[in-house]
Amino acid sequence: MLLLVAFDLRTSLPRPEEIRLTASRRVSETKALMGIPVLVELTLENQGLRIEKVLLRDTPPALATSLHFRDIPPTRAKVTKGSTELLCGMKEGGKATLRYEVQFSEPGEYRFEYCTVLVQSMFGLGERILVLPSPLTVRVYPRRLVKEVETGPAMAFGWSGVTPSKYKGGRLDFMNIRSYSAGDPLKDVNWKASGRLGKLLVNEWHVERGLDCVIIVDLSAGSLPRVGDWNGRGEVITSAYELACSLVGPGNRVGLLVMGSTLDKVRPGFGSKQLKAMVETLVDSREGETWSMRHAEEFLELFFGRQYIQHKGTLFFVFAWPGVELLEVVSSLSRKGFVCNSVFVDTLGGEGQALTDHGILGAKEVEFGVRFARAEEDSFKAMLTAVSDVYAWSAGGGFTEVGRKARR
C-alpha cells in the first residue's frame, strides 16, 4: 500500500498556479427553437504541464429567468445525446472536446456558466478541483407547431374587425373588374375575363379590415401548473406566439400585454417587426405573482387607452388555468363592450407526463386526475362562454373553438 502511495505521488500534481487549463464553449445555435437539439462543444486546452487524468464536468444551461426563485429548481435544458462528463489525459498544449446535445423545453434565455475540472493523479490519490468560467447564452424561441392556422379576416373563428389593414388589396369582398394598369399585382389579374375580352383585366377588392387587438398573457404563478422543474409557461408562450402569428400575418394590428413577475407590453402595430418584438417580449417574460390579472384592466387603460377606450378593441386572454381574477377581468371588460376571446391552453398532458416522470403519481392516478381536471376545465369553459368566445389550444393540435358567447 505504501508503495502504491509513493508510486502515485511520484507523478505529482501540478500546483494550482502551474495548472493552465482554459475552457471555451461553442454551441451550434445561439438562437434556438424549443424542442430542437442544440450541439454544445466545450473545449479544454492545456497550456501548462502534462496532466495524467482529467475529469471534466459540465452543467447543462439553466433558464436565467427562473434562477430568482430559490425554492423552485431552475429549468434546465435536457441532455438528449452524449454525456456532460469527459475523462481524458492532457498533454502539454493538448486539447479535448466534450460534445453533447441539449433540448430546451421552455422559451427564454438559458445561460451556461462554468464547468468543473478535476485534475487527478492516475490512482486518484491526489486531486485538485478547478472551476473554469465558460459563459454563453442561448436564447430559446417558441416553435410554431401548427403552421396551417391562418386567421385571415373572416376566415378563422370570425376574428375580423373594423381597422383598415395595412396591406391594401386584401381579398375580403369582391367589388369590380377594371383594366390593368402598370403596378397591379399579377395575382389580381382576372385571366378568364381577360381571355374573353382580349385585354388584361384585374379584380378590385374592398380594402381589407383587420382586428385591432391585444393579446393578454397570464403568467401568474398561481395559474401556471408546476411539477418540479416543469411548468406550463412554455406551452402558454407557444400558444401566445401562434396566436400572434395568426393575427399579425393577415395584417391585423396587434398589441401584447404579459402579466407575471414582470409586466411586459408591446404597443399595437403591424407586420413582421411587430411580431418579432412580441416574440422577444414573450421569451423574456417571467412567471410570478407581482403583476396578476387583477391589474390587467388598469394597464389596458394606461397603455392602450386610445385604441380601447375610444374604439373598443378585441382582447385575447391566453392562460393555462383561469383564476378568479381572470374570470372577473374578462366579465368586467365584456360588460364594458370589449370583444373578449379566451384561449385555454391545454397543459394537462405535459403536467401528467411530468408527474409520471418525477415518480409522484402512477399512470392510472394521472389518468384519473386528468379526467377530473378535464371536468373542472369544462365547467370553467362554460363560465367563460357566458362572457367571451372560448378557444382551446393544445401543442400540435392548434386552436379549436370551444364555445361562442351569445350576442344580440
Partner 1 sequence: MSPRPYAFVLLFAAATAAVVSWNPLTSTLVAACTASLLVGFVWRRILPTLLAGVLLYPALALAMKTAALSAAWSCLASGLFVIVVCERMTFEYDASEVLGSSTGVDAEARSLVSEVSRAHARKLVLYVTLASLVIAGSALVSTFTVYASVLVAAAMLLMLAVLAYATR
Which residues here bind partner 1, judged by CB under 8 A?
A: 1-4, 6-7, 9-12, 52-53, 55, 79-89, 96-101, 122-124
Q: Which is nearer to partner 1, 124 or 397 (CB)?
A: 124
Q: Which is nearer to partner 1, 18 or 401 (CB)?
A: 18
Shortest gap between Cβ of 22 and partner 1 (angstroms)?
18
Q: Which of 301, 316, 320, 280 is nearest to 159 (CA)?
A: 316
Provide CB contacts within 8 A for 133, sequence distance 6+.
23, 113, 114
Q: Which is nearer to partner 1, 85 or 365 (CB)?
A: 85
Shortest gap between Cβ of 4 and partner 1 (angstroms)?
6
Shortest gap between Cβ of 41 and partner 1 (angstroms)?
10
Shortest gap between Cβ of 82 and partner 1 (angstroms)?
6
Shortest gap between Cβ of 297 and partner 1 (angstroms)?
48
Q: Which of 236, 256, 234 is nearest to 244 (CA)?
A: 256
Q: Which is nearer to partner 1, 137 or 353 (CB)?
A: 353
Q: Which is nearer to partner 1, 3 or 186 (CB)?
A: 3
For residue 378 the three cell numbers come to 369544462
Residues in the chain: 408
Residue 74: its H or E element? none
CB 237 within 8 A of CB 142: yes
Shortest gap between Cβ of 322 and partner 1 (angstroms)?
38
Q: How far is CA 129 from CA 14, 123, 194, 392, in A?
A: 12, 16, 80, 52
The values of phi and psi at residue 370, to 5°, are: -65, -40
Regarding beta strands 21-27 and 38-46, do their DSSP bridges make them parallel or antiparallel, or are they unpaired?
Answer: antiparallel
Q: Which is nearer to partner 1, 53 or 253 (CB)?
A: 53
